[in-house]
Structure 1
Amino acid sequence: MDGFAALLSEPESETLLGVRDVIAIRPDRVLEIQTTYSYKFLGLSASINGGAWVRSGFGQGTIIGVLDTGIWPESPSFDDKHMPLVPKRWRGVCQDGEKFDSSMCNNKLIGARFYAKGHHASCNAGERPPAFMEYVSVRDAHGHGTHTTSTAAGVSVPRANVLGNGVGEARGMAPGAHVAMYKVCWYTGCYSSDILAAMDDAIRDGVDILSLSLGGFPLPLYDDTIAIGSFRAMEKGVLVVCAAGNNGPMPSSIANEAPWITTVGASTLDRRFPAIVRFANGKVLYGESMFPGHNATKELELVYVIAGENGSEFCLKGSLPRAKVQGKIVVCDRTLNGRAEKGQVVKSFGGAAMILANKEINLEENSVDVHVLPATLIGYSESLRLKNYINSTKTPRARIEFGGTVIGKSRAPMVALFSSRGPSITSPTILKPDIVAPGVNIIAAWPQNLGPTGLPEDSRRVNFTVLSGTSMACPHVSGIAALIRSAHPTWSPAAVKSALMTSTDAIDHWGKPISDGLKPADVFAVGSGHVNPERALNPGLVYNIMPDEYLTHLCSIRYTRTQIFTITHRSVNCRDIMKKNKGFSLNYPSLTAIFRQGKTNTVIKRRLTNVGSPNSTYFVEVFTPEGVKVRVEPQHLMFNHVYQTLSYRVWLISRKRRATKTVIHSQGHLTWVHTHSSHYRVRSPISVTWG
């Protein structure tokens, strides 16, 4: 990529921008970093002969590059005992640094680099924070990178657990794949200049998949470092998978929304860690916790401290009066500081236990922690009942009863409350997120320099811990993409992405539509649906996209020549491109129609390539969105041979001329169904919006 990073004053920046050959100057942005069971939940099994793991060789031969906080190489998840040799095409290195040398790489961890120039140039990077250790190397001081890498491609680790909870065999999605770590995140954040440098190196090194569990809020694509770097990766045949962000449920909060990126939202598992609150009057509240042990606390007095403006109700540092909380169960409201940190504050003031109470913004979201004292998290409706009990009882008392690990008794998957939502701001004709995957209460590898909470005061040491976020969902899809790449090494990034999207599940494990809280999830929450690795490996048909088609797409959304050059490093004439591509629509695996004022119809063109059986015929099924009429031509696609491509068109005619108070958006889906094999159902969501 043609560019460089420099520390410039504002006048220097303005002067440089006036130079003829300088296209753009951007400030260095700081981005944020966004299992023993999830592979089973997704249907992956080593004992199924025709299953995705066996058919793909567990991802062997594929290389996943991870941009994150680093890696803990000694973790058992990165043992290379049964790994094949490093692919001959690999051109990467293992960079020496503080407490990390090249001998720590092996046939699993085959590459390691770190990038700190942006970090060092940041205004506060000169001082090391007192609470945290940082390694000037690829070694992970924070745990996030170790966790995400093992989720994507960790090897089998028997009897993995978190202090006795969640016991099982830990495996990543692609346990046979190789990994390379590109450390771009430090205690000051993840700087865009470091991210871009890492993406450049990863492409040259020879990775097949890039997994980025980081991001922020949406940006125009020409200002988005990840969008720019991932375009170059896509051109070189590398699929880029990114976290959607944790700013949900706010609409249009989705990050990493470029159409050449696979954008992943988060969903739940059907695994729970019950820890109920039992009042002295016998009534109970449901809560969850991964505090170790199966015993109940003693029945203790409940206290909820509200003392002026010092934040005692949130259990902020220094806010709790020892005399009021010592030896009691302390109620702490969510938000403002970390969940586990609240428990440490309660413990430091002599509290015996904690009930973490969701605020209205958190609703019933249930991300658990391995607390430093007996504690449980309760939902918003339960927190109202708790506070009513405290306020109406002279001496409220309760105990917390821990129930261990429970699997299969709760509805899942559901969209996680925090998962960022569409529609896309920068490209509203592209439906985002693309897909959802497990991202709540995910157990994966953890470094030995940290306790399971990640708090500096936590002296416990574990090989695994639990985290939640779209950061955890992203590597699930990265690993599954590696399986597809291993099974189909010649497929383009767009073909792999199409296989992931068109094979998804729209219903949960109880046979009901995937939900988002109390309502069915819409396409802006769930995208094309929930990832299904078994079907993704053999999708039947794929929507392929060539790199030049993205240029036409950028022209179609009226990006300027300079903006397109910034993203693609290609000089284009949009007027000529659009003349040659009248009625263009990007061959995306989802369909979006926007009816602005006065517009009542649109035509969407699509192409499908047969990657299943020769001599295959598909017919179309349409679930029509409310407020429109849909016509598809042709209604049958007859493929004579593999890799044959056929086209179809979709006419969407609005039955109304403008949005109403009750309907501004509707959704449906279009599915191509094989006439002789129920396995092949190539499903695309349809999103319709009135502007």
Structure 2
Amino acid sequence: MRKGIEFLCWHPYIGLAASVGDQLNSSLTPSLSTGRDLDGHVSHTLSTAASNFVPGANVFGHGNGTASGGSPAARVAAYKVCWPEVGDGACMDADILAAFDAAISNGVDVLSLSIGGPPAEYFEDGIAIGSFHAVKNGITVVASAGNSGPTPGTVSNVASWIFTIGASTVDRAFTSYSTLGNKKKIKGMSLSATILPRRKYYPLITGASTKLDDVSEVDANLCELDSLDPRKAKGKIVVCLQGGGGTTEKGVAALQAGAVGMILTNDKESGNEAFPFAHMLPAADVNFIDGQTIYAYINATRKPTANITPVKTVLGIKPAPSMAAFSSRGPSFIDPEILKPDISAPGVGIIAAFSLASSPTGSKFDKRRIPFNLLFGTSMACPHVSGVVGLLKTLYPLWSPAAIKSAIMTTARTLDNEEQPMKDSSTNDTATPFAYGAGEVTPNQAMDPGLVYDLTIDDYLNYLCGRGYNTSLLKRFTTKPFACPKSYSLSDFNYPSISLSELSGEVTVTRRAKNVGHPGTYFARIKSPTGVSVSVKPETLTFKKMGEEKKFVVTFHPMSHVSDYDL
């Protein structure tokens, strides 16, 4: 029986109290005195992991359908470890570790952590330490990879015993077109609840052209709050640029200035990945290239005009999935020999439950309340995998966390719905394992992986020994004395993926495959990376019974020097 999925309800704020001391005041920090979700994040992630079937789920009428968590009917426990009103949002290690202790004591089967910070060496990382003890107690720990992509080396939650999840797109879009006065239609994304009259065109103006006298052109172009002049913006559609303050607050700035609509264009860094947001006025978000087209039209036209069409839900988008630009990328800053993230899952435009204590945009100016919301992030991707883990735990209650992780990784898919290699949304080039790990999660295939790569707690401790951890440091991970082996090679670490940070000479890697399916014979299929010769011995493995394990070795021979190369 699944006992619990998700990580964040009420928990004593011992770490927070020690950190802020006299500043701690429940009147100033409302979430201290309640277990209620006040910002919607946990409601969204928890319902994605384990909600029952709920018909009529939609956001302002868009995307209507029946919602369900990955493990419907699962029992859930929630542990509150963050207080958003303190600083930039206080999530103290002491509180996180206390929540791990509570979850272990409560006997949960899965922990879903849509939380993280900058990567740190494991003995300094509260999540890494807490998750190790959870895995030691048979709990699979699933965590988000972070939202600092597409910059390389930004992935977080990188411990080998954590299941680290990147975010990918889905085949659904919420489109809204900006029709310019020259009849050119620009495809954008939106979840605006209000619409403009059809076929009526409004003056089109840039944020910089509507600036108040004492405001810089940069701030006005970004449509920062209190930067736009109502005398110039009233009755017009304002073009704002991504960057600076909050995305939805740009719409608030335009609305407060009397604008009838907003076109939000990506900056160059945001690239060609546009997202739908629940703006408070008719609005469309467009990519960088299309944004440049709009600016060019304004600059070349004496009286530019535009209209914004109502939002339309479009299904069957191709190609999909692709890797979200914001999803943090490998290689791991802590240990590039462990490929991170481990896998990708839907994290763009996810509709799930939302707290009625918060507005859909999170803006203090937004008084709307809705039971479902559409969000983006590896926070949204993480509970998708948590739900799959819950299902596998139900099917195979004796499988270890490593076996469950292996089953999901080794059955992942790297092709999109056009049977082409997954793309990277930030560049539209082919994505790499540093973005998607082993690939996109495919739940049905994970039920029957055939073989798994299993790991024990001793394997993880040996791995830490190989990183130079002494007896003192190991005490953070195990309460029993542990004798490190005299020698240890990461090539013997039975991880489901193989990552070589530098290949200056021949390298041999050993793996142990355990049969969890019917008796059968497996054949090695090799697709060598450019510049590398790869061989597998033996080339076939025959298993005669359930639970049987066999070894094989993979040898990598560089044709030329290869560095930071992932396989």
Q: TM-score category by the smaller chain? A: over 0.9
**Number of the residue aligned with 1:558:** 468
Q: Decide whether aligned partners of structure 1 residues 382 and 129 sit closer, same or farther in structure 2, where only a CA change above 3 A counts.
A: farther
Q: Tell me, yes or no, if structure 1 residue 589 matches structure 2 residue 496.
A: yes
Conserved? CA contact 1:422–1:431, under 8 Å: yes
Amino acid at match of 1:493: P
Match of 1:602 among 489, 499, 507: 507
The yes-or-no answer on 1:292 pairing with 2:193 is yes
Deviations 1:612-638 (A, max 9, x none): 11x311111011112121111111111
Alignment of structure 1 residues 278-427 onto 2, 5 Å? 278-292=179-193, 298-306=200-208, 307=211, 308=216, 311-427=219-335
Tell me which residue corresponds to 1:126: 24
Determine the C-alpha separation between the residues in 2 that align with 1:377 and 1:526: 25
Q: Check if 1:67 corresponds to 2:4.
A: no
**2:539 aligned partner, one-letter code:** Q
Alignment equivalent of 2:357, drawn from 415, 434, 449: 449
Say which SS state the counterpart of residue 492 (structure 2) adopts. Answer: coil
Aligned to 1:521: 431
For the residues of structure 2 that align with 1:494 and 1:582, how far apart are their CA atoms? 19
SS class of match (1:343):
helix
Hey, what does 2:521 align to over in structure 1?
617
Q: Distance in 1 between matches of 2:278 and 2:309?
A: 15
Describe the shift of the 1:583–1:380 C-alpha distance in structure 2 as closer, same or farther (beyond 3 A): closer
Alignment-derived partner of residue 202 in structure 1: 103
Provide the residue aligned with 2:458 in structure 1: 548
- Cα shift readout 1:515-543 (whole Å, capped 9, x = no counterpart): 11311111100100000000011111110
Superposition pairs for residues 115-264 of structure 1, below 5 Å? 115-123=12-20, 126=24, 134=31, 136-187=33-84, 188=86, 189=89, 190-264=91-165
- For 1:300-351, what per-residue CA distance to the aligned partner results, in whole angstroms no more than 9, with x for missing partners? 1111132526711111121111111111111111122111111112112211
Post-superposition, which runs of at least 4 consecutive aligned residues in structure 1 deviate over 6 A? none
Against the structure 1 CA distance between its residues 558 and 655, is the aligned structure 2 distance closer, same or farther, given a 3 Å change threshold? farther
Aligned-partner residue type, residue 138 of structure 1: G
**Sequence identity percentage:** 40
User: Shift of the alpha carbon at 1:63?
Assistant: 2.4
Contact 1:290 1:371 in 2 (8 A): yes
For the structure 1 residues 129 and 387, does the alpha-carbon distance in structure 2 shift closer, same or farther, using more than 3 Å as the test?
Answer: farther
**2: distance between equivalents of 1:234 and 1:337?**
39
Question: Contact 2:167/2:381 (CA < 8 Å) preserved in 1?
Answer: yes
Deviates more, 1:639-648 or 1:305-314: 305-314
1:489 maps to 2:394: no
Aligned residue for 2:344, secondary structure, equals strand
Q: Deviations over 1:373-426 (max 9, x none)?
A: 111100011111111111111111101012410000331000000000000121
Q: C-alpha offsets along residues 216-243 of structure 1, whole Å, 9 cap, x if unaligned?
A: 2211111111000000001000000000
Deviation at 1:133, TM superposition (A): 5.4
Please state whether the residue corresponding to 1:444 is helix, strand or coil. strand
| Contact map agreement 1:271 1:406 (CA 8 A) in 2 | yes
SS class of match (2:6): strand
Answer with 474-483 or 288-297: which moved more. 288-297
Give, in whole Å, the separation in 2 of the partners of 1:386 and 1:259: 46
Query: What's the RMSD between the two structures over aligned residues?
Result: 1.9
Amino acid at match of 1:252: G
Q: Does the 8 A contact of 1:249 with 1:417 survive in 2?
A: yes
Name the CA distance, whole Å, in 2 between partners of 1:191 and 1:209. 21
Partner of 2:170: 269
CA contact under 8 A between 1:115 and 1:182: conserved in structure 2?
no
State the Cα deviation string for residues 580-631 of structure 1 (Å, max 9, x = none): x5675210000122336xx411111101111111x31111101111212111
Counterpart residue type for residue 547 of structure 1: I
What is the aligned residue count? 553
Q: Indicate how the Cα distance of structure 1 residues 423 and 569 shifts in structure 2: closer, same or farther if over 3 A, else same.
A: farther
Q: Contact 1:627–1:666 at 8 Å: present in 2 too?
A: no
Corresponding letter in the other structure for 1:417: A
Structure 1 residue runs of 5 or longer lacking an equivalent are: 1-60, 69-111, 668-686
Amino acid at match of 2:521: T
CA distance in 2, matches of 1:478, 1:246: 18
Partner of 1:76 in structure 2?
none
1:172-195 Cα distance to aligned partner (Å, 9 max, x none): 111121111111122132222111
CA contact (8 A) 2:193 2:281 kept: no
Matching of residue 476 in structure 1 with residue 384 in structure 2: yes
1:640–1:168 CA distance, 2 compared to 1 (3 A): same
In structure 2, how many angstroms separate the alpha carbons of the residues matched to 1:451 and 1:607?
50
* Alpha-carbon distance in 1 for matches of 2:155, 2:287: 25
- Matched letter for residue 449 of structure 1: A
Residues 443 and 583 of structure 1: is their aligned pair in 2 closer, same or farther, counting only changes over 3 Å?
Answer: closer
What is the CA–CA distance in structure 2 between the aligned matches of 1:290 and 1:125, rounded to whole Å?
A: 39
1:595/1:135 CA distance change after superposition, 3 Å: closer
**5+ unaligned residues in a row in structure 2: which ranges?**
none
- TM normalised by structure 2 equals 0.94
Distance in 1, Cα, partners of 2:142 & 2:513: 22
Give, in whole Å, the separation in 2 of the partners of 1:511 and 1:294. 37
Partner of 2:368: 460
Asked if the contact 2:169–2:346 (Cα under 8 Å) also holds between the matched residues in 1, the reply is yes
Letter in 2 for 1:421: R
Query: Of 400, 406, 409, which residue of structure 2 is paired with 1:501?
Result: 409
Greater Cα offset, 147-156 or 547-556: 547-556
Q: Does the CA-based 8 Å contact 1:389-1:396 persist in structure 2?
A: yes
Farther off after superposition, 502-511 or 555-564: 555-564
Query: Do 1:164 and 1:293's aligned partners in 2 also have CA atoms closer than 8 Å?
Result: no
- Does the Cα contact within 8 Å between 2:324 and 2:424 map onto a contact in 1? yes
Q: CA deviation at 1:456?
A: 2.4
The answer as to whether partners of 1:600 and 1:655 remain within 8 angstroms in 2 is no
Which whole-Å CA distance do the structure 1 matches of 2:285 and 2:30 have between them?
Answer: 29
Indicate the residue corresponding to 1:430 in structure 2.
338
Counterpart-to-counterpart distance in 1, 2:190 and 2:231: 26
| Letter matched to residue 301 of structure 1 | P
Looking at structure 1, the residues matched to 441 and 476 of structure 2 have their Cα atoms a distance apart, in angstroms, of 33
Q: TM-score, with normalisation over the residues of structure 1?
A: 0.77
